[in-house]
């Protein structure tokens, strides 16, 4: 009997202990849920695109001169000003071309001068002599004709046949001389346009010789290859001792000697998806709109351009993750690009921030355009926004008046505005400082079951 009593007491104690332990058991991890506060702030709705950092100007430097490279004055990475020497070529061949062109020009000048003198002679002395000869012979013809007709009018008994024959011969000779003089006059008149043509041909030859000499002098000057812009040397394409052919002697326009980049004015050429280009057009300044008037141009002064833009695009690059760059939309290309069935539009964004000197040509960049923006609004984390019992969007909050141990919640429907993927604008339903569940707590009975 005693053993039975002990056994019953033991069972009772175990049952009581189990009940007490169940009441005192700690909640399982995560059962309390996660909460966040509703805050006040600004919200931006971005349009994201990727692109490549490019200089505003990339100049491939060629030379019209031919010759051997005898000096390389700048190397890749060096900064140059417009007019600085980069490469020097051996000038001997081009100097010989100048000498030949100089001689040809002198010959052409002499021929032109001779042609002008002949034209002057044709218009002056030769023509006047021919006219004078005609003028001299015409009255002599009249006189010879008069004398012949006078003898012919006499009676046969009074007329001397020998004298008649002589007068007739004199008249005919005068006529022949007049015809010859008139032919000489016609020839002198025709010689004038011929002389004009000769002068024109000589003038053309002279002008061609002048151009040839000017080209030869230009090629001689271009044996000193200089930078046309201020920038940074990106690459030198030749070595000392290389022999290059000038642009005048090759179909390809000559050898590329060096590449210079204008790194003072950088831009990102972003590829904007066709679904987003409409919103980018809506926020782009007038000068960037396709089809804008030619009189509307982006200010050359970047500070003035920045002042004209409310929400400049933000640019980030992988090389400088902690840096944010800003820019201005300069141009939107109207022609789309289609690659693999994806349609995009190119948008040039000029980098305007002071830290732009960190960027290098060819870097891949992410560009964020601000399409919509609100300030000083109520913001709720997107993690907390759920679909409620009636299908409305809202949040779950701690139930008012319920003991914390019960972990009771209630649903608050909300009217939402802009959404940037992290926060949503709350137009109606919540106030700043409200506690919302980003992860709902487990009920007490759910803890018990677990």
Q: Please report, rounded to a whole number, the percentage of residues in the chain having pLDDT higher than 70.
A: 90
- Output 26 or 331, whichever has higher pLDDT: 331
**Which CATH architecture best describes the domain 58-91+223-261?**
Beta Barrel (2.40)
Distance CA 368, CA 348 (A): 13
- Concatenating the DSSP letter of every residue in 122-173 gives IIIIIHHHHHHHHHHHHHHHHHHHHHHHHHHTS-TTT--HHHHHHHHHHHHH
DSSP state, residue 76: T
Distance CA 11, CA 13 (A): 5
Distances (CA, A) of 340 to 102, 272, 343: 59, 15, 8
* pLDDT reported for residue 30: 56
Distances (CA, A) of 361 to 229, 231, 323: 17, 12, 17
DSSP state, residue 219: H
pLDDT band at 154 (very low <50, low <70, confident <90, very high): confident
Burial of 61 from C-beta contacts in 10 A (0-12 / 13-18 / 19+): buried
- Output 446 or 70, whichever has higher pLDDT: 70
pLDDT tens digits, residue range 101-135? 999 999 999 999 999 999 998 888 888 988 888 88
Is the pLDDT score of 149 beyond 90? no
* pLDDT reported for residue 188: 86
**3-class state of residue 201 by DSSP:** helix
Average pLDDT over residues 343-355: 95
Determine which of 16-20, 40-44, 125-129, 344-348 has the lowest per-residue pLDDT on average: 16-20
* pLDDT reported for residue 250: 52
pLDDT band at 25 (very low <50, low <70, confident <90, very high): very low
- Residue 220 contacts residue 63 (beta carbons within 8 Å): no
The H helix count followed by the E strand count for the chain is: 7, 22
Average pLDDT over residues 173-185: 88
Determine which of 15-29, 89-103, 112-126, 326-340 has the lowest per-residue pLDDT on average: 15-29
Is the pLDDT score of 24 beyond 50? no
Return the closest-CA partner of residue 210 out of 341, 356, 109, 80. 109
* pLDDT reported for residue 215: 92
pLDDT band at 145 (very low <50, low <70, confident <90, very high): confident
* Residue 424 structure tokens: 């949503």
* Residue 448 structure tokens: 């018990």
* pLDDT reported for residue 123: 87
DSSP state, residue 237: -
* pLDDT reported for residue 171: 84
Average pLDDT, the chain: 87
* pLDDT reported for residue 114: 94
pTM here? 0.59
Is the pLDDT score of 3 beyond 70? no
pLDDT tens digits, residue range 194-246? 999 999 999 999 999 999 999 999 999 999 999 999 999 999 999 999 998 87
pLDDT tens digits, residue range 272-297? 999 999 999 998 999 999 999 989 99
* pLDDT reported for residue 19: 45
CB atoms near residue 33 (< 10 Å): 15
Average pLDDT over residues 428-444: 88
Domain spans in the chain, listed from the N-terminal domain onward: 33-52+276-450, 58-91+223-261, 96-209
Average pLDDT over residues 408-424: 91
Report the side by side order of strands in the sheet with 58-61: 58-61, 258-261, 231-236, 79-80
Average pLDDT over residues 312-336: 94
- Measure the CA angle with vertex 225, ends 73 and 101; round to 5°: 140
Query: What CATH number does the domain located at 33-52+276-450 have?
Result: 2.40.30.170
DSSP state, residue 190: H
């Amino acid at each position: 009997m005693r053993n039975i009593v002990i056994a019953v007491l033991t069972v009772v104690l175990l049952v009581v202990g189990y009940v007490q332990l169940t009441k005192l058991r700690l909640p399982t991890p995560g059962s309390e849920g996660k909460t966040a506060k509703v805050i006040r702030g600004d919200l931006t709705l971005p349009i994201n695109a990727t692109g490549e950092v490019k200089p505003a100007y990339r100049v491939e430097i060629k030379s019209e001169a031919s010759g051997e490279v005898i000096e390389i004055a700048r190397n890749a990475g060096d900064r140059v000003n417009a007019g600085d020497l980069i490469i020097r070529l051996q000038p001997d061949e081009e100097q010989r071309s100048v000498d030949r062109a100089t001689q040809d020009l002198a010959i052409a000048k002499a021929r032109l001068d001779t042609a002008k003198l002949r034209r002057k002679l044709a218009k002056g002395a030769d023509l006047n002599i021919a006219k004078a000869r005609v003028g001299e012979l015409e009255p002599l013809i009249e006189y010879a004709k008069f004398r012949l007709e006078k003898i012919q009018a006499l009676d046969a008994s009074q007329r001397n046949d020998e004298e008649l024959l002589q007068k007739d011969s004199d008249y005919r000779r005068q006529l022949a001389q007049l015809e010859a003089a008139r032919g000489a006059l016609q020839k002198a008149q025709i010689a004038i346009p011929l002389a004009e043509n000769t002068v024109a041909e000589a003038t053309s030859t002279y002008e061609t010789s002048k151009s040839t000499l000017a080209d030869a002098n230009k090629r001689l000057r271009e044996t000193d290859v200089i930078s046309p812009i201020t920038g940074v040397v990106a690459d030198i394409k030749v070595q000392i001792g290389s022999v290059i052919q000038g642009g005048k002697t090759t179909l390809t326009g000559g050898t590329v000697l060096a590449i210079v980049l204008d790194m003072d004015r950088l831009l990102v050429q972003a590829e904007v998806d066709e679904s987003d280009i409409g919103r980018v057009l809506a926020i782009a300044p007038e000068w960037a709109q396709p089809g804008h008037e030619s009189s509307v141009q982006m200010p050359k002064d970047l500070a003035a351009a920045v002042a004209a833009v409310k929400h400049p695009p933000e640019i980030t690059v992988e090389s400088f993750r902690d840096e944010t760059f800003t820019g201005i939309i300069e141009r939107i290309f109207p022609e789309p690009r289609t690659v693999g069935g994806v349609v995009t539009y190119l948008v040039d964004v000029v980098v305007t921030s002071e830290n732009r000197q960190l960027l290098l040509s060819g870097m891949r960049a992410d560009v964020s355009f601000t399409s919509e923006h609100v300030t000083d609004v109520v913001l709720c984390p997107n993690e907390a926004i759920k679909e409620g019992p009636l299908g409305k969007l809202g949040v779950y909050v701690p139930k008012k008046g319920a003991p914390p141990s019960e972990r009771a919640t209630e649903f608050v429907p909300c009217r939402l505005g802009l959404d940037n993927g992290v926060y949503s604008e709350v137009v109606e339903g919540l106030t700043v400082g409200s506690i919302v569940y980003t992860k709902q707590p487990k009920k007490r009975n759910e803890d018990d079951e677990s």
